[in-house]
Amino acid sequence: MAIVAPSFLSANFLNLEADCRMINESEADWFHLDIMDGRFVPNISFGPMIVEFIRKTTTKVCDVHLMILEPEKYVEDFKKAGADMLTVHEECCVHLHRNIQQIKSLGMQCGVALNPHTPVESLKEVLDDLDMVLIMSVNPGFGGQKFIPNTLNKIRTLRRMITERGIATKIEIDGGVTLDNAAAIMKAGADVLVAGNTVFKSRDPKDTIAQLKKITR
């Protein structure tokens, strides 16, 4: 069964409390919180302060996705803000193994994200150390983009790598996830579906989440 992580990038920031309450009352498993710095990606979202406010509204997993350069400078801030899972981009980390160890030393689970052009094989030396790999199925920076079809091949390749090693690393897919393609994404081998517009722009977000939640591999 899918782990569903609604992306708050698509939430109503004039009424975040209501959206937090709705996600709490829904079947969603995680809160997916996208952090953008305007440098690594062409957009700026929010920082630790907003994560801290959101953390106070929920006991569900706060899945924080750092789309920022030099993430090591902010890891402790996001730990203090309440992140349970902290994901950094492979493309941002000169010393990726060191970044992973820093995150895990603070008691958080660690994920590494890959942009569409980055092969999953780039993680073969650190895969055993990861709790999750986030495969970007759009180019990062903005919500509402269309799913890149080749992502399915990347998921299959990564799933084979994980199975061959006998490890429990999760595969998370972020970008363009809809009710129409979610089953194919899960069948390819994904564990976690990040859904922004699909959830928050829906006429009935709770029902949409429930439909995503029923999808299995």
Residues marked as binding for a divalent metal cation?
Answer: 32, 34, 65, 174
Please enumerate, by residue number, every residue annotated as part of a binding site: 7, 32, 34, 65, 141-144, 174-176
Catalytic residue among 29, 63, 174, 191: 174
* 204 catalytically annotated: no
Please enumerate, by residue number, every residue annotated as part of a binding site for substrate: 7, 65, 141-144, 174-176
| CB atoms near residue 131 (< 10 Å) | 19
Helices (H), strands (E): how many in the chain? 8, 8
Q: Provide, for the chain, the percentages of residues in helix, strand and coil under a 3-state DSSP scheme, each rounded to the nearest 5.
A: 40, 20, 40
Instruction: At 50, list the tokens.
Output: 């907003």
Catalytic residue among 19, 34, 37, 131: 34
Instruction: At 42, list the tokens.
Output: 């062409």
* 128 catalytically annotated: no
State whether the Cα torsion 192-197-198-201 is positive or negative.
positive
Interatomic CA distance for residues 44 and 154, integer angstroms: 28
Longest CA–CA span in the chain (Å) reads 46
Residues catalogued as catalytic: 34, 174
